[in-house]
């Protein structure tokens, strides 16, 4: 009888321990999550914006009131406040664009859902789509102060970038790192002379993603497709390039907004 009671007491103690543990877990504060911003949240209240949109497969140049030049890549949108000429040199980017900022008494700021850059007179490229977790920033000329556009639970320290320096950022894991790159690659992109050398279909797709700011999906078996040994395109549209490459590598393609589907 005593042995049965001992087992009963032991089971009760175990049950109480489980209840206490579950209660503690429920009361434990949840891990902080990176805030998710939208373009609408980035806009200044009571300020109207003019919207400039890039077309898929071609580059669209926008000249701002202070003569700052912006080259919008495919499916990219630039929001410019209507009071920009009155000293509010602050724009919002959803996409991929190159900025050649004219010096002025007021600083120039470009903000996306992930990054925020403040400059005076400089040239750089920012790629940051609101639909994607990753973002990049490439400094070509001058200097820029680049940081996260949201309050980070881990690190809010911005970076100062000069020629040949870049940042890689990821909103999902709340990370921003300073790296280096070859500025000649960005200068080649600006010249709009696309050179493809010794590239298999995977390499070609990655190059098209960077060059035209699109997402490329591949379907079917591309293992037997020929290697592009040498191809050169001058001021060519995405459709022009795909039409040429499809004949060489034997695929069909479809362009749907900001996405390219290659079927082998």
Instruction: State the CATH number of the domain containing residue 103.
Output: 2.60.120.1440
**Residue 94 to residues 19, 56, 124, 201, Cα–Cα distance (Å):** 49, 14, 15, 28
Domain match, 151 and 223 both: no
Domain match, 168 and 97 both: yes
Mean pLDDT, the chain, rounded, equals 88
Q: Tens digits of per-residue pLDDT, 112-149?
A: 999 999 998 899 999 999 999 999 999 999 999 999 99
Contact call for residues 147 and 157 (beta carbons, < 8 A): yes
**Helices 201-212 and 238-249: crossing angle, nearest 10°?**
180
Q: Tens digits of per-residue pLDDT, 203-226?
A: 999 999 999 989 999 999 999 999
Indicate the number of domains in the chain.
Answer: 3
Q: State the residue range of the domain holding 45.
A: 39-182
In a domain, 127, yes or no: yes
Q: Which of 182, 209, 232 is the last residue of a domain?
A: 182
SS3 state at 22: helix
Q: What is the pLDDT of residue 222?
A: 93
- Burial 182-192, CB ≥16 within 10 A → b, else e: ebeebeebeee
Residue 170: Cβ-neighbour burial (10 angstroms; 0-12, 13-18, 19+) = middle
Domain match, 245 and 177 both: no
- 38, 48, 127: which is closest to 88 by C-alpha? 48
């Amino acid at each position: 009888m005593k042995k049965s009671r001992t087992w009963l007491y032991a089971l009760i103690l175990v049950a109480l321990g489980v209840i206490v543990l579950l209660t503690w877990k429920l009361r434990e504060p949840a891990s902080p999550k990176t805030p998710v911003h939208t373009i609408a949240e980035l806009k200044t209240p009571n300020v109207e914006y003019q919207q400039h949109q890039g077309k898929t497969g071609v580059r669209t140049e926008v000249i701002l009131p202070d003569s700052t030049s912006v080259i919008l890549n495919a499916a990219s949108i630039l929001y410019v406040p209507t009071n920009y000429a009155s000293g509010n040199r602050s724009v919002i980017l959803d996409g991929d664009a190159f900025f050649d900022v004219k010096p002025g008494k007021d600083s120039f700021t470009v903000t996306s859902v992930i990054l925020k850059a403040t400059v005076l007179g400089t040239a750089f490229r920012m790629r940051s789509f609101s639909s994607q977790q990753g973002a990049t920033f490439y400094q070509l000329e001058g200097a820029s102060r680049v940081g996260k556009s949201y309050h980070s639970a881990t690190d809010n320290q911005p970076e100062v970038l000069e020629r040949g320096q870049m940042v890689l950022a990821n909103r999902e894991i709340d990370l921003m790192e300073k790296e280096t790159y070859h500025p000649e690659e960005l200068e080649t992109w600006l010249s709009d002379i696309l050179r493809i050398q010794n590239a298999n279909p995977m390499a070609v797709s990655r190059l098209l993603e960077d060059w035209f700011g699109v997402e490329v999906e591949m379907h079917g078996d591309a293992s037997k497709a020929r290697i592009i040994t040498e191809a050169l395109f001058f001021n060519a549209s995405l459709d022009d390039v795909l039409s040429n490459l499809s004949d060489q590598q034997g695929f069909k393609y479809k362009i749907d907004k900001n996405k390219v589907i290659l079927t082998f």
